[in-house]
Structure formats: C-alpha cells, structure tokens
Structure 1
C-alpha cells in the first residue's frame, strides 16, 4: 500500500514540512494523531477549506486519526494570519451555531464515528485560563523579536496590530500543546499562511514536554495565474447549498480554465492519478470531458451524488444536451410583482445588485428572457412570458435562473 506521504506529494498537497525524512517514516510505520484548525467565524466553510478537508480525508483513509479543531476560543480574538484587517468579534451563541454547521460539512469527508476522528473546540481550555498563569507558563517561552519576524504580523504592523491579535500565536501554540497532552497529537497540518503558528506550537511542545512534533502545510487553491480560486460574482464559493447552489457549484468547476483542470482533479477529488493524467492531457474541445468529470466529482463529495446528478442534468439541459430543467436555480417574486418592471424584478431577486447594474447588463446585451435578448430597459414581465409557470432568465453567458411566482 502506498505511503500517504507519497500520495500527498503526488497529488500536490504539500507546500512546506518540518522534518521530511521523519514525517515520511512515521506516516508509513505508525498511526499518527494530527490536527487541522477551522475558524468558526461563519456558518459555512468555503472551497478554500475543502483542500484541508481532503488533506484530512487522505490521512484518515491511510489509518491516521484526525482532530478537527474549531477555534471557539480564538474566534473571539481573530487570527491575523493572511488578513489586513481585524475581524469582528462574535458571541458565544453565534460561534456554537457555526461550529455545528461546520461539523456537518466536515462529516461529508471525515468519519467521526467510534473515535475515528475527533471534533474539539479550543474554547474548552482557552476561555477559563488565568491570564497571569498563562503568561507566566506559556508566554515565557515566546520571543517577541522572533514573533515580529512572522509574516502574519509583519503585514498587520503597517496598519496597526492590536495586542489582542498579538496573543493569537500564543493561543494556537497552546492549542497544539493541549492536544499533544490530551490526545497524543504529534502533527499539525494547515494552510501555508499558518506556518509560523505551527512552528510556534512545535517549539512549545519541545520546551514543555521534551517531545518531538511535526508540521506540514498544504498548498492554497490558486489558478494558473497564481490568484486564489473560489471567487464568484456573488462572493466566495460556499459549501453550504443555501449560499452556493449545487448547480452554481457544479458550473464553477465545469468552467475552470483548461490549465487548472489537473490541479483541481488532483487536490479536490479522489480520481486515481493515472486517470487524472489521461483527462488532463485532452486538448481543445475534448478537455470539456475532463471538466465534466471534475465538476461532477467535486459536487458529489460536497453535496452528494443525487445533487451532482441533478446539477449535471440541469447544465446539460441549458446547453442543449438534455431536457431536465428542474435543477436550474430558481428565484421567486410575489404575485404583486408579476407586471412590475424587469429591472425592479432583477434587483428584488438579487440577480443584479442595483438598477444601474441591470441597466448596464441590458445595454451590453447580456440579458435574455426565454432565450430572447432584452433590449428595452423599461420592459415588464407579462403573463405570456411564464412558460409552464416559470421564466428562464439568462445573465451573461452562463448564469441561468428559473423565475417563478410565489
């Protein structure tokens, strides 16, 4: 059986690691307990978190035990890593709600049954700390000079770094120490922006427990231009179907750049690498077959096979291959708006953010109703526009909506 380390390298997950030879050996010979932290400042993870979930899933499938650590305590401060502004603080109730939503999404890929994986919340040990004891026992092991060289702090120093945020590295290092003491956790995984925090935790374990620990960071999901993937016109590409519909999720990956197909298949699916190399070698129109596989496999992992089938059927119907329109994202208006101006309807349903944007869309020829281009900015929707109870709205080249009356 292939060492999971080789699998992670082959698929392109690993960005940095602390002890290459030792990590490769223990992943092959031992069963490792490791952790990844998830920030519960929202009620849904997004596609950027999905790489971390896949990282965990590959490790668990190889027999290692994941700890998903949600930062219920650190979320009350905010991690400055990779950020230019301080995050707003949340109430305990908001954080608890977000954690329950996150666990549901993690469970799509991670098996939490029978202790195979652990969900922990650092609020369990951070919120009851005595500050003087913490600074004396933990803070004494951190060098301020060294902390200030960390990239996460250097970026924030230019705009102003609060002492509240400066404590974050101490808290994350303490998390690793507690998990090491409580569960024998010897490895932390995370995004590349967490490198400094991971090193801090390892140093703390070495000083307090005289034990070795390890760290690996995973590559960020970027496109061929080096920019982060997952941004849409409506914001982030969320894993929550109420924030990003399975159809829109499917379409995002169906339309990725040709040069990004191999990377996405490697990082975001379990498709075997031999098949990924075959699919990625397709050229011109044939590469669309690889994109269909990518879109289906990623949507299946996040939303389940039935939703992936429905999204694929809807896409095929809209682009002339099939007839099933039932999974096209639907938007609704009250009956009182049936004869309202089209621009008012577009704004009400959030197809566009403003009337100015609606006007620009029409002027540029980017709006069609039931496959007929709209040229009149004062147009209204009539009863005759509702075919089988709905109106098909197309925005731009690839955004479709089925408009219905509530």
Structure 2
C-alpha cells in the first residue's frame, strides 16, 4: 500500500498523530470520522474532512462516517466561546438526512465503500447510571479538564455539565466502533484532538488494545478567518440554496496569491507533479490567476456539477465584461441564469412606475446597510448601473431596464445585485 502519511504530510494535512500510526496504516485499517448535524448543510470548511477521508479510501482503507444524532443533542464545546444552541430532535433528524445526502453526492464512486452510522442508535439504549458507572469511572475529572476545549471554556464563560460530558460520549463512540467494527483510527480536525485522545484512552483502559488518531489543521486565511467563511463571517455552504454556486465560485477565485499555493495542495486531489507545474506557471504570470481558476474549477465542479460550473463561468465572463453594450445583446435565458445566481430582489411595476431614486433602491435592496453607506459609495464613484458608472443620485426609470425587466447593480469590481421588475407586488430579497 502507498504511504498515506507521506501523502497527507506534503499536502499539509496532518496536525497531530498518535505514535505508531504509520506502522498500522501499512495495512488495511478501518477508520471513522464524525459530523454533528448542527446544520442542514456542510460548508466549505467541513469539505476538508471529506477530502481527507477520500485520500484514505484511495489508499485502500475502510471508512465509517458517523453523523452524530446523540452528540448533536449535546453540543461540542471545542473552540466555542459559549455553548451552542440546542436543537429539537425533529430538526436534528432533518439535518442528518440532508447531510447524509450531501455526503453521498460528494463521495461519488467512493460512497459504496463507506458505511454511515448514527450514534443515537447505540446511545439511546444506555441507562445513564450504567454509563456513569461502567464508562465514566475510567476517566478522572483532572484528566478531562486538561483538554483544551474544556480549559478554554472554564476560563471564559464556564462550561455546563452537559457539554462537559461531550468528550466522554465521543470517546465512547470510538470504543463502541472499536468493539463492533474493529475501528482502530479516528480522524478529524485539530479541534477534535482532545475528544479523539479520550476515545483512545477509553479503548486502552477497557480493552487493553491500541487505537490511533490523526488530525488535520483547521485552515485559516491570512486574516485569521477560518477558510470557508466570507469576510462577514458567514459560512460558504455546499447547499446551492444557502450559498449560490456563483458566490461559491467567486469565493474561490478571490483567494489571494499568498494563500492559493497552500489551498491547491489541500483542496484538490491533483498529484504533486501537476501541482508543482501549476505553481511554477502561476508564479510567472500571477495576474492570469492559473491556480485560482484551477482550484475554483476542481471544487465547484465537484460540489455543484459540471453543468453548473460552466454556467457560472459564462455568467462571470459577462459580469466582468467592461463594455456595457454587451449586456444588451443577452437573451432571456442568460438573464434568468444571472438573476438566479446573484443576490436579487423583485420590485413591483407599481413601485417602479414613477421611478425610484438610486439611493432608495440601494437601501431597499439590502446591498448596503444604510442610505448614508450607499451615499459614501456613490461619492467614491463605486456604483454602477448596468455596467455604467453612476456619479449622482439619479432617478431610475424604464430606460434603465435591460432584458425587458432587469437592472444590474454593481458596487466596486466584484459585488453585484440584480433587480427584477414584475407585476407581483411582493418584494423578495435573496442573498
């Protein structure tokens, strides 16, 4: 078998590992990774877990994916300043189904090699007194509070007993899978190291067997924000209804030259020789953004499909075309596609009939938080209507409509918003 540790290491995908794991991984090993269903969609940050999982599968290891119906009810305190909000069981079940569908789609041909599990199925049958007596006795409180996730919460806002038990429950998951599935390895983000080592300790004390753990880094941008979050701190979701494919693609295209060499290693499956060639090519002509285009192409096609990717590239070319007359030649299908992929709003004919001042429209569209913020952008020559620079608070009328019912707003070089004029008086804003 190929050396998975070497493969993950050159890509920058190992943060911590238990000694002896290299020897274990020279033979087929069953491993597991967990996802708590805290939302109905995964995001770009959580995509890294799936990438690491696929690397293991490509090298012949067996994978278990645990979607935590039980741990999702508790809430992982790891790297959280305050406790997570609790979800109803109904919400969690819906989230579990959504995430499972997403994972099956992302794993493609790898999905038949994966077994999906829900820890609620074994935790629901355990009596609390049995759990405290038979499992809890093996770990001391002093051991538990050495975990970073617990220490930081105690220091900040304190930690509830509910969250304090999280690490023990996740540790029990590893013990259960070790006994039932011969699972010898748990993988996860670096914030899971404390939870992983708790499971390893339980397995050692209860069974006497050796178990292993590997974590990959929580990837951040140069500004300290976790990769997969926008500048506003919003997640870039994998669900097209939560983050449009266009916004998803543009997020990847806007990765800086200082960061992109790291991300092409981490977020693609391209071999080292291919990546080295692309990096060399990019360094010679960084303005052509070879690496950003490759990363955006690989990930967007994987998550949203080839057809959606091709549509996004076409839309991007249109939006970044400097000549405004180009917009006038587009057909209805293209306008619909642009509208669906950009933040947008419906404005009624009745509302538009007498015309509407630009600043009022900008505020109404939620493009800006306030009219004064929109006015500052206007004064700095940052506002465009249908690709034309606007320097004053003009009254928008029928002559500003393109494609029979659209107005394209632009702020700066990269921010777009589309208005659709319809007879329907209902206003709908989609971001």
TM-score by length of 1: 0.92
Alignment of 1:7-406 (within 5 A): 7-19=7-19, 22-30=20-28, 32-111=29-108, 116-158=113-155, 159-224=157-222, 226-233=224-231, 235-281=234-280, 282-283=282-283, 284-286=285-287, 288-320=289-321, 326=335, 327-328=337-338, 329-330=341-342, 331-335=344-348, 336-338=350-352, 339-377=355-393, 379-389=394-404, 390-406=406-422
Distance 1:110 1:321, change over 3 A: farther
Inter-partner Cα distance in structure 2 for 1:114 and 1:157: 40
Q: Deviations over 1:288-314 (max 9, x none)?
A: 122111111111111111111111222
Inter-partner Cα distance in structure 2 for 1:121 and 1:341: 55
Q: Deviations over 1:345-383 (max 9, x none)?
A: 444443334444434433443321112233334x44322
Inter-partner Cα distance in structure 2 for 1:295 and 1:309: 11
Inter-partner Cα distance in structure 2 for 1:29 and 1:192: 24
Inter-partner Cα distance in structure 1 for 2:222 and 2:188: 22
Deviation, 1:125, is: 2.1
Choose 141-150 or 4-13, whichever is displaced more. 4-13
Q: Deviations over 1:166-192 (max 9, x none)?
A: 111111101111121222211100010
Structure 2 unmatched runs, 5+: 423-431
Inter-partner Cα distance in structure 1 for 2:12 and 2:228: 18
Deviation, 1:103, is: 1.4
What is the DSSP-based 3-state SS (H/G/I as helix, E as strand, rest coil) of the residue aligned with 1:189?
A: strand
Structure 1 unmatched runs, 5+: none
Give the number of aligned pairs: 402
What is the DSSP-based 3-state SS (H/G/I as helix, E as strand, rest coil) of the residue aligned with 1:28?
A: coil
Inter-partner Cα distance in structure 2 for 1:151 and 1:67: 26
Distance 1:8 1:356, change over 3 A: same
Distance 1:401 1:293, change over 3 A: same
User: Given that residues 258 and 287 in structure 1 are in contact (C-alpha distance below 8 angstroms), is that contact kept between their aligned partners in structure 2?
Assistant: no
Distance 1:166 1:114, change over 3 A: closer
User: Given that residues 40 and 99 in structure 1 are in contact (C-alpha distance below 8 angstroms), is that contact kept between their aligned partners in structure 2?
Assistant: yes
User: Does 1:6 pair with 2:34?
Assistant: no
Q: Deviations over 1:215-274 (max 9, x none)?
A: 000112222455422221451111111111111111111111102112111111122221
Structure 1's consecutive aligned runs of 4 or more residues displaced over 6 angstroms after TM superposition are: 321-324
TM-score by length of 2: 0.87
User: Given that residues 337 and 345 in structure 1 are in contact (C-alpha distance below 8 angstroms), is that contact kept between their aligned partners in structure 2?
Assistant: no
User: Given that residues 41 and 95 in structure 2 are in contact (C-alpha distance below 8 angstroms), is that contact kept between their aligned partners in structure 1?
Assistant: yes
Distance 1:357 1:178, change over 3 A: farther
Bigger Rg, which one = 2
